[in-house]
Structure 1
Amino acid sequence: MTTVRLFNNDCVESMKELPSDSIDFIITDPPYNLGNFMKNRATNLVKMRENFFGAAGWDNLDSDSWEYSMHQFFMESSRLAKKGSSMIVFMAVIKVETIIKIAEKYDFYYKTTGTWHKKNPMPRNMNLHFVNSTESWIYFTYKTRTGTFNNEGMVLHDFIETSLTTSKEKRFGKHPTQKPEELLSHFIKILSNKDDTVLDPFMGSGTSGVVSKRLSRNFIGIELDKTYFDIASMRIAEEENVSIET
């Protein structure tokens, strides 16, 4: 039986409680630092989307404070990561360069930036400009230039295409930036092995935990917001043979 540990707390504070050199793979979707930026733009997102992330309050740091929080995140990640482990960070394209510069200060080796294409994006402002249908992801390895890569002899592109999160995956509640299980499964299969330990410091509604359990990985998830933490706990508890420690 693989194990699950869940923390309802600030991610850096909870990461400090974990042992050094204990994590095989980190996959996470931190705040993009776009809350204030989006609220100041002339969009109708709030009207079209009830739980628009820009109005949620957790993405409203000024740029300096956000960068400081990312430094803290990568510093703790470097302590926890095993040599040769990997990391995937989802990020807005306009913040990718900043994240790479911060990560490299803490011995994370930059591998590539890829694109997730949403096949059925919300057609907001479709008569005014191009519909936003992509997000970026950044791939790092820790203190080495190679890591686990289970491609099974196949050529894997840096372009991944899936539908948005299904209503079934949101049955316990909605998260404004919830990633689909298919997307996270793609990375967890390729960049980790069975019985490895996967860490998601910005767990949200727990998709990374659901997929990790399904793929026989140990999982550690951290989420500050109690509402989303409870959703994650319920989703992960549905998986078979799960032992959850909170």
Structure 2
Amino acid sequence: MPEIRLYNEDCIAAMKKVEDKSISLIVTDPPYNLGNFMKNRDTNLSKMRDNFFGSAGWDDMEFDEWEKSMDDFFKAAAKVMRKGGTMIVFMAIIKVETIIRLAEKHGFYYKTTGIWHKTNPMPRNMNLHFVNSTEAWIYFTYKTRTGTFNNSGALIHDFIETSVTPNGERRYGKHPTQKPESLIQHFVEILSNENEWVFDPFMGSGTTGVVAKRTGRNFIGVELNKDYFEIAKSRIEGKSNETNSN
């Protein structure tokens, strides 16, 4: 069985406990820092879902504070990443340039920016403007220009389409920015191999951990929020119980 390590604390502190040069793949979804931006726009917040990310309290830093936190993250990530390792960072399109600049400071090589298209997005303000149905992801390798890429000779686009997270993946609790397992599994299987270490320093509800365990990868996950940490822990353990019962 894969080895799983979960930490309910700040990711910078947790990464000090991770062995240097041990991580093969980081797949993570850090705060986009759009809370204040959204609140200052005509976005009809009163009609947004109850767990709207802008009301969560972790997405409303001042830009300079957020930029410093991400710089600290990439510095810590460089310590634990093995040479040739890979990182996928989900991010708002308007922040992509900042993320690339910060990552490159610490030895990460920028490969490309791709798009996740949600086939069934919330039709918020559909009669006012284009419905938001995409999020960006940024692909890096560490200290090399190439890394693991398990494409088996197939052409793989930088455009991924899935539905939003189905209700069955939310049965342990809801997270406002939860990604579907099929989306994360796409990256885990292409960019890492069995028995390697996959890391998610902004674990949220634990999707990366569920996928890593299911696909035979070891996993380290960190989540600061206690409630979300418990959801993630339950999800990962629940998947293990389901597997053992089959």
TM-score with structure 2 setting the length: 0.97
Q: Residue 173 of structure 1 aligns with which residue?
A: 173
Q: Residue 218 of structure 1 aligns with which residue?
A: 218
User: How far apart in 1 are the matches of 2:96 and 2:42?
Assistant: 24
Q: Say whether 1:42 aligns with 2:42.
A: yes
Q: Say whether 1:141 aligns with 2:146.
A: no
| Superposed displacement of residue 143, structure 1 | 0.2
Give 5+ residue unaligned stretches, structure 1. Answer: none
Q: Say whether 1:153 aligns with 2:153.
A: yes
State the Cα RMSD in Å: 1.1
Secondary structure, in 3 states, of the residue corresponding to 1:239? helix
Q: Say whether 1:236 aligns with 2:236.
A: yes
| Superposed displacement of residue 46, structure 1 | 4.0
Q: Residue 196 of structure 2 aligns with which residue?
A: 196
Deviations 1:71-104 (A, max 9, x none): 1000010000000000000000000000000000
| Superposed displacement of residue 45, structure 1 | 3.2
**Residue pair 1:35, 1:54 contacting (<8 A) in 2 also:** yes
| Superposed displacement of residue 192, structure 1 | 0.2
Q: Residue 4 of structure 1 aligns with which residue?
A: 4
User: Once superposed, which parts of structure 1, at least 4 consecutive aligned residues long, lie more than 4 Å away?
Assistant: none
User: How far apart in 1 are the matches of 2:45 and 2:153?
Assistant: 43
Q: Residue 182 of structure 2 aligns with which residue?
A: 182
Using a 3 Å threshold, how does the CA distance of structure 1 residues 157 and 17 change in structure 2: closer, same or farther?
Answer: same
Q: Say whether 1:109 aligns with 2:113.
A: no
Aligned residue pairs total 242
| Superposed displacement of residue 149, structure 1 | 0.1
User: How far apart in 1 are the matches of 2:87 and 2:240?
Assistant: 26
Q: Residue 62 of structure 2 aligns with which residue?
A: 62
Give 5+ residue unaligned stretches, structure 2. Answer: none
Secondary structure, in 3 states, of the residue corresponding to 1:67? helix
Q: Residue 89 of structure 1 aligns with which residue?
A: 89
**Residue pair 1:46, 1:52 contacting (<8 A) in 2 also:** no
| Superposed displacement of residue 47, structure 1 | 2.4
Secondary structure, in 3 states, of the residue corresponding to 1:114? strand
Deviations 1:29-70 (A, max 9, x none): 000010111111111234231100001101111000000000
User: How far apart in 1 are the matches of 2:162 and 2:8?
Assistant: 29
Secondary structure, in 3 states, of the residue corresponding to 1:173? coil
**Residue pair 1:210, 1:235 contacting (<8 A) in 2 also:** yes
Deviations 1:131-151 (A, max 9, x none): 000000000000000000000
